[in-house]
Chains A and B, each alone.
Chain A
Amino acid sequence: MEEMKDIVLEYVIEEYLEDEDEEIDYDTPLISGGIVDSFSMVSLKRFLENKYKISIPNEKATPDAFDSVNKICTLVNEFVK
């Protein structure tokens, strides 16, 4: 789980964070904080699916479930065998 959190956090920083001075952690609000918008969520979902060889149903990929690295990892773990 810890390793997954680091991977997801690093990906979010690399791909979605525009302000290089902004610091985020596992609990930083991503969707409600405006770091990842609803359209970009599709690419984040795709990253998780590719990386962990899973398929996340659309009804599970809600803004709330994607709102922090911690929440994302909890969701991903539901599908990782």
Chain B
Amino acid sequence: MSNISSYDERIKNFDWSISENELGYKEGDVINIGWYCSDRICQQGKADKLAFIWEGLGGKEKKYTFNDIRINSNKFGDFLRNLGIKNGDRVCLFMDKIPELYIGFLGILKIGAIAQPLFSAFGDESLHVRLDNAETKAIITQKRHVSKVRKILDQMPYLKHIIIVDYDGRKPLREREIAFSMDEAEPVENLEIFPSKAETPSVLHYTSGTTGQPKGVKHVHYSIISQYLTTKWILDLRDDDIYWCTADPGWVTGTSYGIIGPWSLGITQCVLDTGFSAESWYKFIEKHKVTVWYSAPTAIRSLMRAGDEVVKQHNLSSLRHLASVGEPLNAEAVIWSEKVFGKPFQDNYWQTETGSIMISNYPGMKVKPGSMGKPFPGITATVLNPKTYEPWEESGKIGLIAFKPGWAAMLRTYWRNEETFKTKFKNGWYISGDRARIDKDGYFWFVGRDDDVINTGGHLVSPFEVESALLEHEAVGESAIVAKPDEINMEVVKAFVHLNPGYEASPELELKIMNFIRKKLSPLAMPQEIEYVDSLPKTRSGKIMRRILHAKEWGEEIGDTSTLEDDE
């Protein structure tokens, strides 16, 4: 019997107090995610239970019990507090998937500071705009990434501390840098936990929009109420499971379901901190006897491409439940996983802003391959007519995915950007920015974004951000960024570039521009293709019409071009 038992029954009798009661929380109580994910589990008699198995390159392994997680997160909290970090201060985590990332996250929350995880592959400009927006007071990083922080240090007077977790003493520390070794620090048995309340800010995750700079999505400690229950019912985690969430905690899946969800349930989880290869992933599952696996369509499609033979070379019989998130999981991938693993990857849907899974397939519920499933109990989801912002009354109509506000993990605002936050609500609905249709059985089917944002490998890339960065390249006069279809990543970034006088189109220049963006922003934002053009299609008022370029890439109808100034 699965944790959710019957989806239909749960829908009828649902109340979020189910989660509150299981977590022992009552309105007005102190609620601190850091404490819930470590101290509370120890108090439940699981102090010696394995919480974390970490594996790095060459099979290097580290293991931590829940008591280790408790003491090590205390060490982080104590260290930060001694540096002068206070509740409400922003502390950035800028690391690979090493134990310090996961445990440091809890340490930050324990002292009431706000954790700001950022993807370690971000370039210096991507890092800078996000630290600048948050006025981050401290950053926790590794030797291999510190050069990016040093490069922008002069522009960040608010950043007081750069904490290096693997400093080896080979070269002197520089301005504002300080070393901290989690494994070698003195144990901190007791740490005063900050008495955070439901609405105390906890995590700041950055996400990209069509226009403007990335937005800091503010979450609060109360988010654990929906993260806990969705983990329990959708990922179906049980006490004896070995769980593997492949997401990087630089992104929201990696914190909501790679830290908070499993550890608030006292579950053993494992992490593989190496680059992707089908062989190493299957080997990892086999070695650690992974039972529940939460991954992403890009990875699943890459595994499909690697073929069935490599699957057969490993004993993967420990797997009992598979789930996927990031971008829509195509029906072929669902059918393939059923064929090779004996069970389908079950898709689900949510966003950085929603903080927890909103629409999902559930254990025991019929899977329709290609569908993202049905709303989680307690979540009111619909698709709206884009003109009236009223729900479509008939099934099958394509509209905007929208949710009734009020679930626990919902964003509270965009950091220092209340104005944009308000635009996300229409007619009493939170507007996701994605489009879908609902079939007659109530299943949601993803259609696409409702804006120009590019979803590549499950991560959002803002065309505006890439276009702005491209303008800083001496050869680029102007550019337009659109999504290009991609078999593995669903979409990748494509740039249409008009060169400045004196520059000639060439493959060498294309590579230079690609690398320029990769280092400045991130590998995700790097155009995987650059097309040189004499001019870009614009409206009469001079606005670049990305939709025309997008339509050409996707073989779609171009639509109304009556306002077009120049059709190339």
A residues sitting closer than 8 Å to B (CB atoms) are 15, 18-22, 29-34, 36-40, 42-43, 46-47, 49-50, 59, 62-64, 67
Contact = CB atoms under 8 A, between A and B. Distances in A.
Interface centre among B273, B507, B523, B524 (most CB of A within 10 A): B523
B511 interface: yes
B529 to A, nearest CB: 9
A47 B147 contact: no
Contacts of B275: 29-34, 36-38, 63
A50 B523 contact: no
Given A43-B515, A46-B510, A47-B511, A37 B280 contact: no
Contacts of B456: 39
B520 to A, nearest CB: 13
B147 A46 contact: no
Nearest to B528: A42
B507 A34 contact: no
Contacts of B508: 50
Contacts of A18: 144-145, 147-148
Contacts of A33: 57, 274-275
A30 B302 CA distance: 18
Contact of B143 (A19, A38, A63): A19
A34 B273 contact: yes
Given A15-B515, A34-B57, A63-B276, A40 B144 contact: no
Contact of B526 (A30, A43, A59): A43
Nearest 9 Cβ contacts at the A-B interface: A39-B523, A19-B144, A31-B275, A40-B523, A32-B275, A32-B274, A50-B507, A63-B277, A43-B514
Interface string B131-147: 00000000000011101
B89 to A, nearest CB: 26
Given A42-B528, A43-B511, A47-B511, A19 B276 contact: no
Given A19-B147, A46-B507, A64 B279 contact: yes
Contacts of A32: 57, 274-275, 277, 280
A15 to B, nearest CB: 6
B170 A21 contact: yes
Contacts of B547: none
Interface in B106-133: 121
Given A42-B528, A63-B275, A63-B277, A20 B147 contact: yes
Given A21-B143, A50-B511, A31 B277 contact: yes
Nearest to B511: A46
Given A21-B143, A30-B275, A34-B273, 10 more contacts: A20-B147, A32-B277, A33-B57, A38-B302, A42-B526, A42-B528, A43-B526, A46-B507, A50-B507, A64-B277
B274 A37 contact: no
Question: Interface centre among A29, A32, A59, by most B CB within 10 Å?
Answer: A32
13 contacts: A18-B147, A22-B144, A29-B275, A34-B273, A37-B121, A39-B523, A43-B515, A46-B511, A62-B306, A63-B275, A63-B277, A64-B279, A67-B277
Interface in B253-279: 273-277, 279
B366 interface: no
B378 interface: no
A49 B517 CA distance: 20
A67 B280 CA distance: 12
B96 interface: yes
B343 interface: no
Interface string B89-101: 0000000100000
A59 B171 CA distance: 43
B477 interface: no
A49 B526 CA distance: 18
B457 interface: yes
Contacts of A39: 456-457, 518, 523-524, 526, 528
A62 B145 CA distance: 26
Nearest to B519: A15
A34 B277 CA distance: 11
B515 A34 contact: no
A43 B273 CA distance: 23
A38 to B, nearest CB: 6
A30 B275 CA distance: 8
